[in-house]
Structure 1
Amino acid sequence: MATETDPQHAPETGSESESGLLTERYVELGKAIGFHALLWSLVTIVLFPVLWMIVVSVNQIAFDTFVSDPAAWFSDASMSAYDQMVNETRFLTWFTNSAIVSVSATVVSIVVCLLGAYSIGRLHFRGRQTVATFLLITQMFPAILIAIPLFLVFRDIGLFNTLTGLVIAYVAFTLPFAIWMLRGFYENLPTSLEEAAMIDGCTRVGAVFRVIVPLSAPAIATTAIFTWVLAWNEFVFALVLINDPDKKTLPPGMSEWIGQYSLNWDLLMAGALGATLPMLVIFFFLQSYIVKGLSEGAVK
């Protein structure tokens, strides 16, 4: 006996099913196009200053020409600015000084902050929160407010106009930031890690360097990178504490290229590109460590 089929519960036909799948594909395609359009827009905004530096360093053109006539970007390209930067200025000396000071300050800050961040983030002692708050408060003062007292102290103890004194100043400048950055990671690690290591015979210090430090390697790498960037770009301390032209770092050294009545834009942009290139290379090759250090908060 034939039965009647309810129209509301009738099975979907092949055309209706294909239409639904096609609609879903169009929706997914639209989302993908929108996501990539937004992503490339952000990339363009971020990379525009780098492109502007490259174009101006080889061809001094006005901004309106840069926007309206891309064909003129490299029409009269010349590497004279780079030749002048290398052979007629102290750029390489300043670059070397910046590398020595920033790397030294980063290494000292990381070594000190390993135990400092661990003690504040893992150990429970009286005054722990006060110390953490004091470290945070030190980041609220402008650098110029600290630079003058440092200048007076360093002048009296013989550290003025020395790279050693600049390294000490940079350590004082970057250490609170490094401690706070590592402290958040250490607080999320389970305390059972040290307990298991100490049951097996490790001391507290041994548990830190054998268990905690290897697990926090991505966070340490991220902290080191950001600490190095702070030291590499620092201007005020380097300007106040260094007076010898052969001991200056890049930021105050390149500021001498800005005259009162003239400004050599191609030379300045060539120097800015040379100072930016190390950061671009480091972030490009170590981006995986940065992502892991900023996202991980537990044991794998």
Structure 2
Amino acid sequence: MRKLWLNGTALVLSVLFIFPVYWMLSTSFKDNSQVLTKDPVFFFTPTFDHYSTATGVDLFWTYVANSFVVTVGAVLLALLVALAASFAIARMEFRGRRGMVIAVMMAQMAPWEILIIVVYLNARDAEMLNSLVTLTLIYFVMALPFTIWTLRGFIAAVPKELEESAMIDGCNRAQAFLRVIFPLLAPGLMATSLFGFIAAWNEYAMVLVLNKSPEAATLPLWLTQFQTNFGNDWGATMAASTMFTVPVLIVFLVLQRRVTGGLSAGAVKG
């Protein structure tokens, strides 16, 4: 009976989470006359007109390219800086270490929405508005605290004896990190990459304020182009939302299979 109750609860929650996604996907294939109806339409002849409308927007492929550039750039920068910072926090003793940890935690908890005005004024004064470089740097800073905090836990979980053994065998500190610790950080790197990708890919407020030029816009702004003074094109909006979700789903499916296993077990097997 206990297993039946748990399985039933899991089934109900799964339906609640999956149904909105199903409705978004099905609406993207419905005719306009079937989108806004008094009674929901579950059986229909699919049409791809809404996808043609969504991809037919001016500068669509520019939006796609901009989103991938700023997202991938921010994730790679965050991983590069966080690897060094998290190693220093986890392995080294230095003055201000505790304060640095507290600062990272506070930066992670602070809502970035309250800093939009400050960020805009700084970007304006530096003449860096409508720039993909500015957007990449901001997304990098937004993802950095979580990346540092997560990788710090993974590095701390690796036994120091492995690193010391490598140094006894002739490796210096950098070689020991690259050859011993770094291969064991794969789960942490995957998890933080996934978080950073989703956060940067979905971010809307910053690009709305900083990048007014259509040539510097990203896909979240593209999703708003189907709302006009004459009404909302819900079919095109759902088609755009479906396409917007696909890259995140692909990244998740690729990475989630690798975000498994404990570091200590992996170290013993190595």
Report the TM-score, using the length of structure 1 for normalisation. Answer: 0.81
**TM-aligned CA deviation for residue 266 of structure 1:** 0.7
**TM-aligned CA deviation for residue 204 of structure 1:** 1.4
**Consecutive unaligned residues in structure 2, runs of 5 or more:** none
State the distance in 2 between where 1:260 and 1:206 align. 61
Change (3 A) 1:89 1:41: farther
The aligned amino acid for 1:51 is Y
Identity of aligned residues (%): 33
**TM-aligned CA deviation for residue 297 of structure 1:** 4.5
Change (3 A) 1:144 1:38: closer
Give 3-state SS (helix, strand or coil) of 1:139's partner. Answer: helix
Name 2:212's counterpart in structure 1. 243
Name 2:39's counterpart in structure 1. 65
The aligned amino acid for 1:61 is V
Instruction: Please say if residues 182 and 220 of structure 1, whose CA atoms lie closer than 8 Å, have aligned partners that are also in contact.
Output: yes
Q: Give per-residue Cα distances to partners, 1:182-201, cap 9 Å, x unaligned.
A: 11111222111221111122
Change (3 A) 1:63 1:53: farther
State the distance in 1 between where 2:228 and 2:114 align. 26
Q: Is 1:219 equivalent to 2:188 in the alignment? A: yes
Instruction: Please say if residues 35 and 235 of structure 2, whose CA atoms lie closer than 8 Å, have aligned partners that are also in contact.
Output: no
State the distance in 2 between where 1:178 and 1:64 align. 47
**TM-aligned CA deviation for residue 227 of structure 1:** 1.0
**TM-aligned CA deviation for residue 228 of structure 1:** 0.9
Corresponding residue pairs, total: 263
State the distance in 2 between where 1:42 and 1:282 align. 24
Change (3 A) 1:267 1:195: same
Name 1:110's counterpart in structure 2. 79
Name 1:270's counterpart in structure 2. 239
Give 3-state SS (helix, strand or coil) of 1:209's partner. Answer: helix
Q: Is 1:166 equivalent to 2:146 in the alignment? A: no
Give 3-state SS (helix, strand or coil) of 1:216's partner. Answer: helix
Q: Is 1:187 equivalent to 2:161 in the alignment? A: no
The aligned amino acid for 1:251 is P
State the distance in 1 between where 2:236 and 2:82 align. 39
**2:61 alignment partner, one of 92, 95, 117:** 92
Instruction: Please say if residues 35 and 234 of structure 2, whose CA atoms lie closer than 8 Å, have aligned partners that are also in contact.
Output: no
Name 2:113's counterpart in structure 1. 144
Name 1:43's counterpart in structure 2. 14
**Consecutive unaligned residues in structure 1, runs of 5 or more:** 1-29, 67-71
The aligned amino acid for 1:263 is N
- Which structure carries more relative contact order (alpha carbon 8 Å, separation 6+)? 2
**TM-aligned CA deviation for residue 290 of structure 1:** 2.6
State the distance in 2 between where 1:252 and 1:215 align. 38
Q: Specify the structure having the higher radius of gyration (Cα).
A: 1
Report the TM-score, using the length of structure 2 for normalisation. Answer: 0.89
**1:197 alignment partner, one of 156, 159, 166:** 166
The aligned amino acid for 1:112 is V
Change (3 A) 1:177 1:93: same
Instruction: Please say if residues 245 and 253 of structure 1, whose CA atoms lie closer than 8 Å, have aligned partners that are also in contact.
Output: no
Q: Give per-residue Cα distances to partners, 1:19-66, cap 9 Å, x unaligned.
A: xxxxxxxxxxx6665554444333322221210111111224348633
**TM-aligned CA deviation for residue 140 of structure 1:** 2.9
